[in-house]
Amino acid sequence: MSTAATTVDVNVKPEMISFGVIGTKVQTGTDTNNQPVYKTELKAASREKEIEKAKEDGTLLFEQSFSYDKAGSIEGITEVIKDAEEAVNIFNAGLKVRFNSKVVALLTEVDENGDPTFQPTESSFDMRDALNEPTQRRNLSPIDKAQKALLATGLPAETVAALLAQVRANIAGQTAPTAE
């Protein structure tokens, strides 16, 4: 077995997310004997805290994990979504969400006095440059996720930093095996 590093295809990244279906009984009225009539309202949830609370409350009906692929590059988009027209539709839906988010941020930005900073224009405000600005949010690396999870347990920051330093040292000493 060789210890030379291998390249990893980043065009497509597998993802998995779990959902829970929460059922809440809601009274809809009374029957002819004046007894309450209930129906169950269903809600799909993907936030872990919401699912855990539903488990505690006894309202979680079931959980299901779903897997899908995310594009890691422009080329990956057509690997994930085979139909070109559908790929364009999905891109445009995402662009609309990003557009709305950037417009809301622009319109609601305030200065140090709490006054709006946006100045309306007579013509349409061109958002092309704003849409090309990288987003502030980023996907967390596995180490960042571990740090967040460890800090959430209540461990002191110094302990978490020491643990992660050890993990980084262990990772740095490894090389990826390759097939010969």
43 - beta bridge partners? 22
φ and ψ at 141, to 5 degrees?
-75, 165
Q: Per-residue pLDDT tens for 113-166?
A: 888 999 999 999 999 999 998 876 556 777 878 888 888 888 888 898 888 888
Give the per-residue pLDDT at 10: 80
- What's the whole-model pTM score? 0.57
Q: What is the mean pLDDT of residues 66-72?
A: 93
The mean pLDDT value of the chain amounts to 87
Tokens linked to 104: 């809301």
CA neighbor of 108 nearest in space, from 116, 119, 96:
116
pLDDT(167) > 50: yes
- Matching residue, tokens 């020491």: 162
Q: Is the pLDDT of residue 6 over 70?
A: no
- What pLDDT, on the 0 to 100 scale, is given for residue 149? 83
Given a contact cutoff of 8 angstroms between Cβ atoms, the answer to whether 22 and 53 are in contact is: no
The span from the CA of 65 to the CA of 16, in Å, is: 7
